[in-house]
Amino acid sequence: MSNPYLITGPALISFSGGRTSAFMLRQILDAHGGTLPDDVVVAFANTGKEREETLRFVHECGSRWGVHIHWLEYRARSGPKAGRYEVVGFNSASRQGEPFAGLIASKKYTPNSMMRFCTIELKIRVMRDFCQDALGWKNWTNVIGLRHDEGHRVLKSLARNASGKEPWRNAMPMAAAKHTVRDVKAFWDAQDFDLGLKHYEGNCDLCFLKGRGKLKAIIREQPGAADWWSAQEVAGKGRFTTEYSYADLAREVAQQPHLFDEIDDEPAEDCTAEVCEGDNDPIARRVLQREFERTFDAVMGSAA
């Protein structure tokens, strides 16, 4: 079997800024002898709500590994592609949620679990416009960091491939190589630098698809973290979740500052160029994982 980390261009490596996608990038670099082909490009889409640890981690991966990472940000929903995104860098990257807030202002409502347009607009379409405008690509491979133990997400991504609706085709070398979260953890345990986030935090500081316990724990640890989200619910005239507002969460934390809510052991899944955190039904995940493992050879063979 050929090395799934040998990527043929034109290809975009979607770097979410998490440990998993960084592990994938390192494997791809190693497979290519440390230097990517000219038509294999790495991009990171910053929403403005990424943790500062994430921004430093992306910058450090690029610097330490000698790979150029294109930092991109959303700017507009319409008009010429060149005006819909901006190329930024570590120093100039938005840190106060400006791209995300601009999108909500344009939409005039907040995203939610049924309409996750934040991932679509702030990441997927930003990377698409960059590939078509800056790189001049018509079709390409979209390389995303989905592991073998994320079969529920892999199957959904393969279904998108089968639809043929997009100018790219998803490749998931980690799934093909059967790399799991244990491999990722072992890799980072052996490194002298790391992302530095707890397993439940994730790159997007208070993603509304996190469980309530995770959100409250983060608000306790990061006073003021809910302020931006509360302001957007007011400005967008809608809640990110139907069950509670971010103001509600902040009040609950203030009233019970030392109560530690139940936090599951599932690591936070980060938004990629195709999927985002939020596949939270554990039963459905287990069923899809078994289906993925049962049909692995067939489905990954068809994806090659």
Q: CA 246, CA 207: separation in Å to the nearest integer?
A: 11
Taking residues 224-234, what's their average pLDDT? 96
What per-residue string of b and e applies to 248-263 under the rule 16 or more CB within 10 Å gives b? bbbebbeeeeeeeeeb
- pLDDT digits 0-9 by tens, 106-153: 999 999 988 889 999 999 999 999 999 999 999 999 999 999 999 888
Does 148 or 261 have the greater pLDDT score?
148
Contact 44, 15 (CB under 8 A): yes
Confidence of residue 195 (pLDDT cuts 50, 70, 90): very high
- Look at residue 275 and tell me whether its pLDDT is greater than 60: no
Cβ atoms of 212 and 280 within 8 Å: the answer is no
CB 97: neighbour CB atoms within 10 A? 19
CA atoms within 13 A on the CB side of 120: 11
Instruction: Report the alpha-carbon distance of residue 40 to residue 69 in Å, rounded.
Output: 11
Q: Bigger pLDDT: 267 or 46?
A: 46
Please state at what angle helix 151-163 crosses helix 282-294, rounded to 10 degrees. 70
Q: What is the pLDDT of residues 54-77, one digit of tens each?
A: 999 999 999 999 999 999 999 998
- pLDDT number for residue 284: 73
Nearest 5°: the CA angle 59, 64, 67 is 75
What pLDDT, on the 0 to 100 scale, is given for residue 152?
84
What's the chain's Rg over C-alpha atoms? 19
Across the beta sheet with 69-74, the strand order is 85-88, 69-74, 40-45, 11-14, 140-143, 168-171
Q: Which helix (H) or strand (E) holds 42?
A: strand 40-45
Asked if residue 151 lies in contact with residue 303, where contact means CB atoms within 8 angstroms, the answer is: no
Q: Span 185-201, mean pLDDT?
A: 95
Range with the lowest mean pLDDT among 163-167, 221-225, 249-253, 299-303?
Answer: 299-303
Indicate whether 276 pLDDT > 60: no
Question: Which one, of 62, 40, 35, 37, lies nearest residue 141 by Cα?
Answer: 40
Residues 6+ apart with CB under 8 A from 256: none
* Helix (H), strand (E) at residue 87: strand 85-88
- 32 contact partners, CB below 8 Å, separation of at least 6: 6, 7, 40
Instruction: Please name the CATH architecture into which domain 11-197+296-303 falls.
Output: 3-Layer(aba) Sandwich (3.40)
> How many other C-beta atoms can be found within 10 angstroms of the C-beta atom of residue 238?
17
Q: Confidence band (pLDDT; 50, 70, 90) for 250? A: very high
| Domain definitions of the chain by residue range | 11-197+296-303
- Asked if 226 contacts 97 with a C-beta cutoff of 8 angstroms, the reply is no
How much of the chain, in percent, has pLDDT values that exceed 90?
A: 72
